[in-house]
Amino acid sequence: MKDRGPIPMKSNVTELVQAAGRSAAAGNWQQAEDHWRQVIVIEPSHPQALCSLGIHALQRGDVDSALEFLESSRSAAPGDTLTLMTIAAAHRQRGNVAAEREAIDAVLDSNNNFVPALLLKGDWMERNSTAAAAAAMYKAALAISPTEADWPADFRERLLYARNFVARHSAALFQHLNSTLVNELQQLAGGLAPRWREAVSIRAGMSRPFVSQSNQLHVPRLPAIPFYDRSAFPFLAALEAKTDTIRAELAQLIAEHSDSFEPYIAYKSGDPVHQWSKLNHSKDWGACHLWRGGVACEDNLKHCPETAKVLRTLPLADIDGLCPNVFFSSLQPHTHIPSHYGESNARLIAHLPLLVPPGCKLRVGFEEREWKVGEVLVFDDTVQHEAVNNSDDLRVVLIFDLWNPLLSEAERRLTSRLAAAMRRFSGLAPA
């Protein structure tokens, strides 16, 4: 066979690189280093070999040799991320704060969305700058990271640390702002104080702005007000005055017609249930409907005639195919209604609390309230909201729809016409 001569130099380098990789994967670091040294004998400016030798030297604690190899690698490949990150680590070991920062910034100059470098810079800020600067950098890293379930194993611990650091910083800032502004907040009129408590929370990073999100009909430019002032609905006094009567009819309904209550969440087979899996087809959140989608439920209404009588005197929201809805809403002990959004901000939701054991709460947006028997709460359910019964007893409220008072009469008529047109187009009503 004809002699082909020595293997070309490039093939030697390729084979040595592959051999170094195999040795490193097997945990044979010395052999891997020997292969890398052979590479730079053949190709002195081979960036991967120089970077790898720098890493080996750094692992041995030989920072001077590490930096010599790493700077040579940087000269050969100026934007190589691994080289720059390792240079930063070497300068940190040496205590050269400025050089460490320069190497980190060089990585981010090449890729300002590189999460490991953002985490490194957050760490640098934490050691050499302010907590606010570190929190800002950690926030930047978290903002572009995948969801926690998809965090890379190599960075999970650092991302957890970053998240906890941001949470601690936000809590400290929140406490500082509240203590600084306590007098000003106390002097605000009752309707304004919740707004500014939320403003403080948002500024501190404890919460985000809550906006209105309607599942069906959204009216633009209406403010996302969590709870409306009770004084805007003077007609509710007549309903509140009947609380004892309504409670008596409710008690009889529960005792004699408990089958009138059905699961409030009842998706059809094959429908996506999202956050409702625990409550789907469960009476843990039950409803006895008196009006549903604008249609009277006569079988249930006949069991509570006095309740029906006073409800018929109220200016309930009337949107074609959508409302009024009126029902007794039962929440079994230790049941949580997860956060969700309502159908339309053209209407508001009112609760008349009837059975309210301690430990029951309603959160709408930033604000949290406890129900008080006989005192109606009115809120915009297109602002994210949730409810919980942490007690050992049943909680029941009467829920009904009211018009958003910020809509004119003409807009209310238009709302219903729009909903009717949509139903006809969708085949849900006759053309």
| Side-chain-side CA neighbours of residue 85 (13 Å) | 14
Tell whether the model's pLDDT for residue 363 goes beyond 60.
yes
Q: Is 333 helix (H, G, I), strand (E, B) or coil?
A: coil
pLDDT of residue 8: 47
What is the per-residue pLDDT across 204-228, written as a single tens digit (0 to 9) for each? Answer: 999 999 999 999 999 999 999 999 9
Question: Cβ(151)–Cβ(144) under 8 Å?
Answer: no
Tell whether the model's pLDDT for residue 6 goes beyond 60.
no
Distance in angstroms (rounded) separating the CA atoms of residues 70 and 84: 8
To the nearest whole percent, how much of the chain has pLDDT over 70?
97
Domains in the chain: boundaries: 9-164, 230-266+276-425
Question: Could you tell me the pLDDT band of residue 7, with boundaries at 50, 70 and 90?
Answer: very low
Question: Could you tell me the pLDDT band of residue 2, with boundaries at 50, 70 and 90?
Answer: very low
Tell whether the model's pLDDT for residue 281 goes beyond 70.
yes
Tell whether the model's pLDDT for residue 357 goes beyond 50.
yes
* Structure-block tokens of residue 143: 């903002």
Mean pLDDT value across the chain: 94
pLDDT of residue 4: 46
Q: What distances in angstroms separate CA 95 from CA 16, 54, 92, 178, 308, one per listed residue?
A: 34, 17, 5, 39, 78
What is the mean predicted confidence (pLDDT) over 174-200? Answer: 90
Comparing 192-196, 226-230, 376-380, the range with the smallest average pLDDT is 192-196
Question: Could you tell me the pLDDT band of residue 192, with boundaries at 50, 70 and 90?
Answer: confident
Q: What angle do CA 326, 330, 332 make, to 5 degrees?
A: 165
| Side-chain-side CA neighbours of residue 262 (13 Å) | 9
Rg (CA), the chain: 33
Distance in angstroms (rounded) separating the CA atoms of residues 199 and 35: 60
Question: Could you tell me the pLDDT band of residue 423, with boundaries at 50, 70 and 90?
Answer: confident
Distance in angstroms (rounded) separating the CA atoms of residues 271 and 277: 11
CATH 3.40.50.720 describes domain 9-164: no
Tell whether the model's pLDDT for residue 142 goes beyond 90.
yes
pLDDT of residue 189: 77
Question: Cβ(406)–Cβ(347) under 8 Å?
Answer: no
What is the mean predicted confidence (pLDDT) over 313-336? Answer: 96
pLDDT of residue 330: 98
pLDDT of residue 240: 98
Tell whether the model's pLDDT for residue 303 goes beyond 50.
yes
Under the phi-then-psi rule, with left for phi > 0, alpha for psi from -120 to 50, and beta for the rest, what region is 209?
beta
* Structure-block tokens of residue 430: 């006759």
Which pTM was predicted? Answer: 0.81
pLDDT of residue 1: 39
CATH class for the region spanning 230-266+276-425? mainly beta
Q: What are phi and psi of 384, to 5 degrees?
A: -50, 130
Count the Cβ atoms, other than its own, within 10 Å of residue 35.
22
What is the mean predicted confidence (pLDDT) over 146-155? Answer: 93
Task: Find the largest Cα–Cα distance for the chain.
Answer: 110
Question: Could you tell me the pLDDT band of residue 11, with boundaries at 50, 70 and 90?
Answer: low
